[in-house]
Structure 1
């Protein structure tokens, strides 16, 4: 239970970081939402797409998958969301590196910036959340076992006679065993007279 809660919190934090990352600078002062999804497959251009045609869309999809995964306690869905975030971020880095000639990290506002770090961190948090979650456990039902009476040699004998096969007694209760050290029970003629 605690693992599920902790994993869910980490996964939701990762999803939030991934969704917020396109609203920050990614490279040379350009916001992440200013990169088209198509640029990831054809090459980075200077076009500024609408919000839902930008790289934000796969991150929103990953966040929705994360929420569903947390609600269903599905480690697989949360891990899938992490792979989507990391995959699109790495694909963007490859395309941006091809367009710029190289990727650099500088402190003066040029090169990779905090938006990329937020996306990578969000993806890692999603994967970590999936690892932390215990997930759903399948309940295994035990096969029905036949009732074994106490003292019986095998479950197919009742009442317990220690002999295999069905019992020949008509009573549902076992017959009392005779004690060899005690004599026969007194009958009506054996009463003491006074």
Structure 2
């Protein structure tokens, strides 16, 4: 901000000096407003012209460009105005040197006036102001998208995919959204495991053979009470029911 202010002041001062310079003496007491614009391209003559068709015209154009550049904070426009002022001033010096044979700053005879110094100083101030100015700050995008706001000051519900929460002074109700249809996952048919019953072939011990186990038939467990085959181990030898 400070750089823009200082640069703008320098640029405006340079533009004012450039516009004021044609009213001062440029060479041998002749003001710059007496030189025609076409003399800068075809050669300096003694013909005089109006102020509106003189060398003041490009300087006034440079001052207008400077004002636009200061308002827009454009360094390019201010630098362009400085180049215009310096370009036309140097071109006049070249043509005047060709017409007079030489240019003298001070001394006896025809010399350069203070109008040339004001024009050169104005162009340099314009370039200096363009260098000092910081220009316009770049706009940062991507943090927040631009949204279209309605007359009530609230964003439309279509632009708010996740809804919004009203503040303490808000009276507009929350936007409602239609429920999204959900499709259940298709149920997968389950296949029961095939049952594999044990084979019912009788063996010598009376027990079926386990297909997952060994092929040797199971032996009967011995009686812990010493009863023989066909006897009840819970009855004594003198039991009449045997």
Q: TM-score, normalised by structure 2?
A: 0.58
Q: Does 1:140 align with 2:134?
A: no
Where do 4+ consecutive residues of structure 1 move more than 6 Å?
Answer: none
Unaligned runs of 5+ in 1: 145-194
Q: Does 1:122 align with 2:122?
A: yes
In the TM superposition, 1:20-31 aligns within 5 A as 20-31=20-31
1:55-101 CA-to-partner distances (Å, cap 9, x unmatched) read 00000000000001000000000000000000000000000000000
Task: Measure how far apart 1:113 and its partner are.
Answer: 1.2
- The residue that corresponds to 1:5 in the other structure is 5
In the TM superposition, 1:88-127 aligns within 5 A as 88-107=88-107, 110-127=110-127
- The residue that corresponds to 2:77 in the other structure is 77
Cα separation, partners in 2 of 1:107 and 1:20, compared to 1, 3 Å: farther
Task: Measure how far apart 1:107 and its partner are.
Answer: 4.5
Cα separation, partners in 2 of 1:106 and 1:4, compared to 1, 3 Å: same
Task: Measure how far apart 1:137 and its partner are.
Answer: 1.9
Task: Measure how far apart 1:140 and its partner are.
Answer: 2.2
- The residue that corresponds to 1:155 in the other structure is none
SS in structure 2 at match of 1:120 = helix
**What is the distance in 2 between the residues matched to 1:57 and 1:15?**
13
1:116-136 CA-to-partner distances (Å, cap 9, x unmatched) read 000000000000000010011
Larger Rg: 2
Instruction: Say if 1:29 and 1:109, in contact at 8 Å, map to a contact too.
Output: no
Looking at both structures, which has the greater relative contact order when contacts are Cα pairs under 8 Å and sequence separation is at least 6? 1
**What is the distance in 1 between the residues matched to 2:143 and 2:107?**
65
Unaligned runs of 5+ in 2: 145-242
- The residue that corresponds to 1:159 in the other structure is none
Cα separation, partners in 2 of 1:73 and 1:99, compared to 1, 3 Å: same
Give 1 or 2: higher helix fraction.
Answer: 1
Question: How many residues align structurally?
Answer: 144
1:124-167 CA-to-partner distances (Å, cap 9, x unmatched) read 000000001001122121367xxxxxxxxxxxxxxxxxxxxxxx
SS in structure 2 at match of 1:26 = strand
RMSD between aligned residues:
1.2
**What is the distance in 2 between the residues matched to 1:64 and 1:97?**
29
Q: Does 1:35 align with 2:18?
A: no
Bigger CA drift: 60-69 or 98-107?
98-107
Bigger CA drift: 100-109 or 8-17?
100-109
SS in structure 2 at match of 1:104 = coil
SS in structure 2 at match of 1:106 = coil
Task: Measure how far apart 1:38 and its partner are.
Answer: 0.3
